[in-house]
């Protein structure tokens, strides 16, 4: 297995940034298209949880557009072969002193790259 294939890193990095743009503009259709359309999808949020694409659809459609900005820090993307990558990033939001942490597991499926698992948390953090 080849680690950190440059082509895979470029693809997933571009997708990660497209996801961030969709998140901050609350483009619900675009956001949903990034996720695996499957009941096995898992997303743990700051104060929420989605198990399966149906819960993700409900959550995204009910979530208002953000009223804050985000500054991304320490973006790390690693590829594990040609069909799996993990993106991890820290972020600062303009509306809280807490530090945010976001992880996404991306898998290349027949329909393209999709997030199959994600986790977002925010904690007091210095460093």
Q: Give pLDDT, residue 109.
A: 98
Handedness of CA 36, 24, 21, 84 (dihedral sign): negative
Helical segments of the chain, H only? 6-25, 28-33, 53-62
Q: Give pLDDT, residue 10.
A: 98
Q: Give pLDDT, residue 126.
A: 80
Given a cut of 50, the residues of the chain with pLDDT beneath it are none
This prediction's pTM: 0.95
- Domains of the chain (ranges; CATH) run 6-122 (3.10.450.50)
Mean pLDDT rounded to a whole number for the chain: 97
């Amino acid at each position: 297995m080849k680690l950190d294939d440059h082509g895979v890193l470029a693809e997933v990095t571009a997708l990660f940034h497209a996801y961030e743009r969709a998140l901050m503009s609350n483009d619900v259709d675009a956001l949903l298209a990034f996720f695996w359309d499957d009941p096995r999808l898992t997303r743990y949020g700051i104060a929420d949880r989605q198990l399966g694409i149906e819960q993700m659809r409900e959550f995204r459609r009910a979530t208002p557009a953000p009223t804050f900005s985000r500054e991304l820090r320490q973006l790390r993307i690693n590829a594990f072969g040609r069909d799996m990558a993990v993106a991890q990033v820290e972020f600062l939001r303009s509306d809280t002193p807490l530090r945010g942490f976001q992880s996404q597991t991306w898998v290349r499926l027949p329909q393209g790259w999709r997030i199959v698992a994600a986790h977002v948390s925010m904690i007091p953090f210095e460093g």
